[in-house]
Amino acid sequence: MRKIPALSPLPGDLPPDHQPVIIAAQRSAIGRAGGIFASLDVEYLAAPVMQAVLAEAQISPNQLDDVILGNAAGPGGNVARLSSLHAGFPPSIPGVTVDRQCGSGLEAVMMACHLIMAGAGTTYLAGGVESQSRAPLRSLPASGTLPAHSYTRARFSPDTIGDPEMGAAADTVAKQFNISRTRQDAFALRSQHRATEARAAGRFTAEITPVAGQTTDECIRETMTVARLARLRPAFSKDGTVTVGNACPLNDGAAALLITTAAKARSLGHTNALAYIGGAAAGVDPNILGIGPVASTQKLLKHHTDLHLADLTHLEFNEAFAAQVLASLDALGIDETLPNQDGGAIALGHPFGASGAILVVRLFTQLIRQNAPADARAMAMIGIGGGQGLTAAFQSTRL
């Protein structure tokens, strides 16, 4: 591994009062849609996690400059403000909800970091929340030549370009990038085995806040085998390779992180933190949306020449579908065994608006709670409906 230079998110080192660091990170258990959190609206999912992350950081809510939450399939309105008030935060603390679909939670984290870099504030709670169980079925009345119809998701792209369902797009990626069914199933099985082992070893315990008394991820399949995966039929097209076994389930969950300046973290007595280096968003063809992280990662590396994929000790890559993860890893030249060392979304689940934030919670556990070396570098990557990718880079640091 090459020698890693001093933390330099921008040309020249950032001063401590402009360097964003994460000092606390919590998530709920991840429930199956219609499962353990089926009766909870999003604010009931988010509020306990938000309260817990402030307690972990030893910060009172009245110190927050803003609350930023991602949400993709929720009821509309301002989920961040609703959740903040439900958590008992003072009415003087504002809240804003962001929607970059599956990347919403990571977008919220990046937004908070960028606000700190710009000097707009010093202390933010950022994260995401999703309830697929409570996501509304929306209806449109007849209009002109268009008939009335109902839909479960918003349009991501015009029909003139293509707006495929996620599974169909994953099948397209598998075909276009020659990702075999055997390889997809092997990747999915590794995710299940890693998550099973991580849970048994207690590596999720410190990051999970009890919500409605639940502390155990609901979707991990401890007894999954390659033979069981091989028996599953294609889920989205007759000759496809994507199945319910090598794709993520639909889920409910929440995550929150406390992001502040290195200077303030020091003053609060924190000695270890996850420093933000930089992030990037990029667009790709909506018909092969799963490779979005390739473009966003390449963009990030172009802007941060001191970053090198070969130096990553950890990588959290959202496993919407094994096919798109493998295609992206191949394109970036990353070994497929590097990401998701404690399992990913195929095993744990993918609560859309929360998933990007959950990736960073996982990195916080792996690099800070587990005392990784001070120069350890990591990335979070996620593909996004409509043809986008989002990548963020972090480094463990001693304050």
Which residues have a catalytic role annotated? 102, 350
* Two structure tokens written together for 179: 């990702």
Evaluate whether 64 touches 125 at the Cβ level (below 8 Å): yes
Give alpha helix (H) positions in the chain.
42-57, 79-86, 104-117, 166-176, 181-201, 226-231, 262-267, 292-303, 322-332, 345-348, 352-364
Strands 66-70 and 123-131: parallel
DSSP 368: I
Residue in the block written with tokens 């990037």 = 280
Distance (Å, whole) CA 111 – CA 22? 13
Evaluate whether 65 touches 251 at the Cβ level (below 8 Å): no
* Two structure tokens written together for 227: 């033979």
DSSP 199: H
Q: Which residues pair with 255 in a beta bridge?
A: 27, 128
Write out 240-252 in H/E/C secondary structure. Answer: CCCCCCCECCEEE
Distances (CA, A) of 30 to 59, 137, 162, 284: 26, 22, 31, 29
Residue in the block written with tokens 């994507």 = 242
DSSP 250-276: BEEEEEEEEEEEHHHHHHTT--EEEEE
Distance (Å, whole) CA 221 – CA 390? 28
DSSP 343-355: --HHHH-B-HHHH
